[in-house]
Structure 1
Amino acid sequence: MPIPTGSPGVGRSLLRDDVYRRLRDAIVDGTFAPGEQLRDGELAEWLGVSRTPIREALLRLATSGLVVAVPGRSTTVTAIDAQAARDARDVIAAMHALAARGVAGALSTDDLDRMRAANSRFAAALRSGDVDAAHAADEELHGIPVSALGNRALESVVEHFDPLVRRAERQRFSSAGESSVELHERLIDRLAAGDAEGASAVAFDIWHTLPDGE
């Protein structure tokens, strides 16, 4: 397994969640490709931690469908499953629709401004072809209503299924990006206006702008 170079370790005080996020992101962004075998020792050396949080993170990734783990044998990055990604997308869409309905009219001016700023960065990243920056801005924008709602069960569902959707998204993100910019603007406007049903409908539609299929 080729370990990325030039990426600093994160220190031995790294929390389990941080290890999980680093490995999750490396799979989502393609650093670790489908079919690649992940070895505890190499990952521990890369992140500068013991094998214990690595093994715990790999088990979490297995429950999300990002890796297949065979205890005592091997852990392998899964292939992208179009049907699994569509199923996860439908769940994610429902969760974001619920969050938008719950916070419409209740977001602070700062929350709305941060969503607008994230959408501006999202649009700029699309124009420059920077997929990583586009995904980061998109994730930040959608995370604001979810965080503002404060529903831990909803947040847990989003955290569980979002990586599957994001991973599949990267293959065809630019094809739906421009329509997403406009939908983001409509979502923010409806949230600001307190239009709960309108905001919920737009939030749901945003997650169905990506074409089906491989």
Structure 2
Amino acid sequence: MGAIRPVHRTLLRDQAYEAIRDAIVSGDIPPGTVVRDAELAQELGLSRAPVREAFSRLVDEGLLETKPQSYTRVTVLVAAEVRHAAAVVRALHELVARTAVPLLAPDDVETMRAANTRFAAAVRAGDVDAAVSADDALHDVLVRVAGNRAAAATIARYTPLIRRLERRRFGDAVSCRSADLHERLIHACGVGDVAGAVAVTTEIWRALEELADGTTDHP
């Protein structure tokens, strides 16, 4: 599993979690793969303790599943679970947009616009990592400005499940439409149109709920 990068010896639990999570989301550790704490600890240059803690968190978030005394493995994509996660994330992004739009500064809107420029370029180039990073940067502006820590934490928890599906289906009609939807969202944010921003946010995340219906790993 050479795709996972070693981590620095600070915040080891969190960094182990992020490294393993990213490898799962990107598909570098495919669905169904059995993972072992000793092997990953060696690859990451860590002791087994932070890797075990990362495993526990990833099980809680639905990216790993475990059978005591038997195995820990990467979960398959389950359509219903992805759809449910997308519905939760959609509702919280709607809340965030409703809260944040009246508080946005011009620089915030420009940050969103720059992120969408990067996103559109990445989609055209077929660069999945760059597209996901730019998409996160755009939506994170609203999450940050809203200042709702509970919403931010819940979004962070469930977004990786959705990202797994997005990466698999990258380049389809949803990805191609996203840049245009982002432009509409940015325009609404720029003119202070709360209702418009919430409506576009709903459209963006409902598209991902619909995308989940095409998941084939599990009925």
Same fold (TM over 0.5): yes
1:149 pairs with 2:150: no
- Give the Å deviation of 1:8: 4.5
Look up the match of 1:180.
Answer: 178
Of all paired residues, the percent bearing the same amino acid is 47
CA contact (8 A) 1:44 1:54 kept: yes
Q: Deviations over 1:65-99 (max 9, x none)?
A: 11102344321001111111111111111111110
Residue among 184, 190, 193 paired with 2:191: 193
- Give the Å deviation of 1:11: 2.2
Root mean square deviation, CA, Å: 1.5
Residue among 43, 48, 51 paired with 1:54: 51
SS of corresponding position for 1:68? strand
Residue among 151, 162, 167 paired with 1:170: 167
Look up the match of 2:114.
Answer: 117
Look up the match of 2:41.
Answer: 44
CA contact (8 A) 2:5 2:19 kept: no
- Give the Å deviation of 1:209: 2.3
Post-superposition, which runs of at least 4 consecutive aligned residues in structure 1 deviate over 4 A? none
Residue identity matched to 2:135? D
Look up the match of 2:16.
Answer: 19
CA contact (8 A) 2:92 2:151 kept: yes
Whole-Å separation in 1 of the counterparts to 2:78 and 2:125: 28
Residue identity matched to 1:179? R
Whole-Å separation in 2 of the counterparts to 1:208 and 1:29: 22
Residue identity matched to 1:213? G
Look up the match of 1:66.
Answer: 63
Whole-Å separation in 2 of the counterparts to 1:160 and 1:8: 22
Look up the match of 1:135.
Answer: 132
SS of corresponding position for 2:206? coil
Whole-Å separation in 1 of the counterparts to 2:144 and 2:42: 33
Segments of 5+ residues of structure 1 without an aligned counterpart are none
- Give the Å deviation of 1:21: 1.3
Q: Deviations over 1:8-54 (max 9, x none)?
A: 42122243222211111110000100110111011111211111111
Segments of 5+ residues of structure 2 without an aligned counterpart are none
Look up the match of 1:9.
Answer: 6
1:202 pairs with 2:200: yes
TM-score, normalising length: structure 2: 0.91
Whole-Å separation in 2 of the counterparts to 1:70 and 1:108: 49
Look up the match of 1:213.
Answer: 214
Look up the match of 2:28.
Answer: 31
